[in-house]
A = this chain, B = another copy of it.
Amino acid sequence: MTITTGLQLSSLITAEGELRLSLDDVAIPAPRADQVVVRIEASPLNPSDLGLLLGPADLSTIKAGGSADRPTVTASVAPAILPSLQARLGEAMAVGNEGAGVVVDAGDDAKHLIGRTVALLGGSMYSQYRVMKASDALVLPEGTTAAQGASCFVNPLTALAMVETMRAEGHTALVHTAAASNLGQMLNRICIADGVPLVNIVRSEAQAKILTDIGAKYVVDSTTPDFRTKLIDALMETGATLAFDAVGGGPLAGQIIAAMEVAATRKMTDYSRYGSTTHKQVYIYGVLDLRPTEIGRNTGMAWGIGGFLLTYFLMKAGPEVGQRMRARVAAELTTTFASHYTSEISLAEALQPEIIAAYAKKATGEKFLINPSKGL
């Protein structure tokens, strides 16, 4: 089958501060000898995709336009934010970090892959077709669906990177926030399998239940009055001194470090005005809360906080570690690394204002999957 054009979702922010989402026909080049053409059938809407897709647009200003099969959406971006977006202004950005689909065409060296379902990482996945090097495609076991393989990279590798980081930096247990997310559930399965104590911080009883149902031992709810006490107890018991935080802004990261410090000083016998010598670390990998991160003066002196990005981790860890992590994902794709989606939408549906409002909420327990082959 020779494919010559396909639809691609693109996100543009103009110099005047208007976000424009559209579906554009793009040319699909004939594959080179080592390339495959993949018909994308499943690509998740991860928080990291939303950042590029919607940028910092004010969603209360959203307006639909275009036609039924070529819809467009516009929304305003506050002028004060535009300077920080300088490098993307006026550029149509393709979106979608990862996805999966079926190989429909291939160059001479990759013909054997035609018909196979593969998983891809590399951007522009909210597209009908994607041309990539065959060696960059993760060939999924026979019988695996595109939906099952859609989230092979971002969440599974991030969850594994947390455990890798824990070991590399000398910690023996973990704390995770927004812990009932797809990623959080994966992390629980990894930690249970690997015997790593994991303290899950959630924001509702319903989220706590999701985790206890899959066997989580330590679940604390930050909306209850005894949150601090319960957190300290769990930290005393697990000895966790490393947290991965998806909330980012507000007081939570500081509260976690302070609670770790209380747990550490309770184990000390001598007073030191510098607090415990135990190093306490939080890595922020998400920003569900856009306020500034606040760190109080109750951390002792041995603490750190910083940004965490899978890409930077993989660069630092090196190819061997990355390869080991990918192999585990492929082997445990439908068990440890299974993702669950609450809605499957087409490219056109992804540009409907009410659907945008739903996925932009990033509600824990809700997860959207784009199927670029749907409804076309």
On A, residues with C-beta under 8 Å from B are 51-52, 55, 84-88, 91, 93, 248-249, 251, 254, 265, 268-274, 277, 287, 290-309, 311-312
Contact = CB atoms under 8 A, between A and B. Distances in A.
A312 B306 contact: no
A273 B52 CA distance: 6
Contacts of A294: 292-294
Contacts of A292: 251, 254, 294-297
Contacts of A274: 309, 311
B308 A87 contact: no
A52 B268 CA distance: 18
A87 B307 contact: no
A302 B293 contact: no
A52 B273 CA distance: 6
Contact of A295 (B265, B272, B293, B301): B293
A37 to B, nearest CB: 26
Contact of A298 (B84, B251, B277): B84
B303 A307 contact: yes
The 8 A-B pairs with the shortest beta carbon distances in the complex, nearest first, are: A304-B306, A87-B271, A301-B307, A88-B271, A301-B309, A292-B294, A293-B295, A292-B296
Copies of this chain, complex-wide, total 2
Contacts of A303: 306-307
A161 to B, nearest CB: 13
A288 to B, nearest CB: 11
A287 B248 CA distance: 23
Nearest to A300: B307
A222 to B, nearest CB: 18
A164 to B, nearest CB: 17
A121 to B, nearest CB: 15
Contact of A297 (B91, B248, B271): B248
A85 B298 CA distance: 11
Contacts of A254: 292
B249 A297 contact: yes
13 contacts: A84-B298, A87-B271, A87-B272, A88-B273, A91-B271, A251-B292, A274-B309, A292-B295, A293-B295, A295-B295, A301-B312, A302-B309, A303-B307
Contact of A277 (B93, B299, B312): B312
Given A88-B271, A265-B87, A287 B293 contact: no
A304 B308 CA distance: 9
